[in-house]
Amino acid sequence: MSDTKSFKSRLWEFFQSLGKTFMFPVSLLAFMGLLLGVGSSITSPSTIKSFPFLGNELVQLTFGFVATVGGFAFTYLPIMFAMAIPLGLAKRNKAIGAFAGFVGYMIMNLSINYYLLSSHQLADASNMKQAGQAMVLGIQSLEMGVLGGIVVGVITYFLHERFQDTRLHDAFAFFSGIRFVPIITALTLSIVGLIIPFLWEYVAIGITAIGRLIQSTSVFGPFLYGVGVLLLKPFGLHHILLAMVRFTPAGGTEFVGGQEISGALNIFYAELKAGLPFSPHVTAFLSQGFMPTFIFGLPAVAYAIYRTAKPENRPIIKGLLLSGVLVSVVTGISEPIEFLFLFIAPFLYVFHVIMSGLALMVMALLGVTIGNTDGGILDLLIFGIMQGTATKWYLVIPVGIIWFAIYFFVFRWYILKHDIKTPGREDDDITENVKAEKPSGNKKGAQYDPELILSALGGKENIDSLDNCITRLRLVVKDMALINKEILKKAGALAVVVLDNHSLQVIIGPQVQSVKTGIEAFDLLPVD
């Protein structure tokens, strides 16, 4: 097999890696959102009215502080993207990439400010928002939101990869190598900052048009969104669609507290922080729509797999299924269960895709207003129940029960009718192997064998790059023929996804970070 990668292969590798980098700021945002939700709910006048003892000054000061800390990620999200993208994409000297991302982001906004000032387009504070401008870390610039951070992050990554080994003349040798990266980033982004004002109007129009298209479809928009997310998930590209709707005008634009806010998640957090009612057309794209699937539907899938397994194999698969259910219900991470049936029963995944889209549409039709990112039981508690009955959180339960019943009976019927080899229904020899390899009394995650996984990947010489997202190892390999899928599964992998001749993903589950760390312990890649 040729080691030369096609443009399509390189492009695919880049986009799946880019989607993964979004999880750095999004994971922080999800946690900070929980703090903001708890703090805002306790300090809300309606909460104090219902529970007067919470009006105590110390309680209010404490949870007011919690809400302030929680609002951090919302305020500084663009610069986090600018730093996280080169940090996640860079193969070496990751810290330098992140530092250069910060430098580039600041320089770009300074250049935009200079252009606006020189061309007499710098708006007064009173009409700044109307002019599409905002204060960015003390610099009056164009209001580009997260997209500005993404642009900087991507440009910085390419500059970092191209110039991190640059050797200059002896007279300038001090500025060679990694020191040259933030320098060339600053110079490049200064030029980009002068160009952006000429292009931004057209970019903004395009993004706004996408947002209007989604919004114009009314409740059908959330359905298409849910379907799109689930269709992209097997390829690891769903984070790009999620980020677009959550953080750009594609997810809507609202004035909150006199400020123009873009992106469904941004609007929700702004309304939460301001103590305002949540907008149904905004939360339609957030946690609420995934709750019937994550809290009820996927546990039903696990139960169907358990009930259709051979009786003697049920104790063997119980731990696998319970861990998948726990992760789905609590955190909204669905892959550990989804990849149990995705590749062996594509029809069931299509059914799952449609049901997920319908869940978002039904929640929107019912006027439920529960925001945040995960779609698990914590979001239901903090952003639903704790925010009062105005969120209509109680409607999640009857819809969820219906989803549980539909998922269970459809999966049970299809598995039995077509003899699908879900866990516990495999041939005896495979089952015996599972029994033999099942650890006894080991800690959670001990079933993964990093050394065996590395061997099944063709050894360290076969790996160009290794990274991970929430549930999967993402690899670029030299020779795909050296990949042994059967051994990978025996070593603990849920599934193996081959994207092209060089790119693949090994689905591990929530313990993926420890698996990656275990592989790196064999000196696979240099660690910064």
Listed in sequence order, the residues at least 6 apart from 189 whose beta carbon sits closer than 8 Å to its beta carbon are 103, 104, 105, 107, 108, 111, 152, 155, 156
Catalytic residue among 134, 469, 493, 496: 469
Instruction: Name the token pair of 205.
Output: 């129009």
Cα angle 248, 273, 382 (rounded to 5 degrees) comes to 95
Residue 446 vs residues 412, 438, 457, 518: alpha-carbon distances, Å: 30, 9, 19, 11
Q: Are 233 and 507 in contact (CB under 8 A)?
A: no
Long-range Cβ contacts of 488-494 (<8 Å, 24+ apart): 488/453, 488/456, 488/457, 490/433, 490/437, 490/452, 491/448, 491/449, 491/452, 491/453, 491/456, 492/447, 492/448, 492/449, 492/453, 493/453, 494/335, 494/336, 494/339, 494/340
Q: Burial letters for 517-526: b for 16+ Cβ neighbours within 10 Å, e otherwise?
A: ebbbeeebbe
Q: Are 297 and 404 in contact (CB under 8 A)?
A: yes
Instruction: Name the token pair of 304.
Output: 């169907």
Counted residue by residue, the chain has a size of 528
Listed in sequence order, the residues at least 6 apart from 389 whose beta carbon sits closer than 8 Å to its beta carbon are none
Residue type, 388: G
Q: Is 284 a catalytic residue?
A: no
- Which residues are the active-site residues? 469
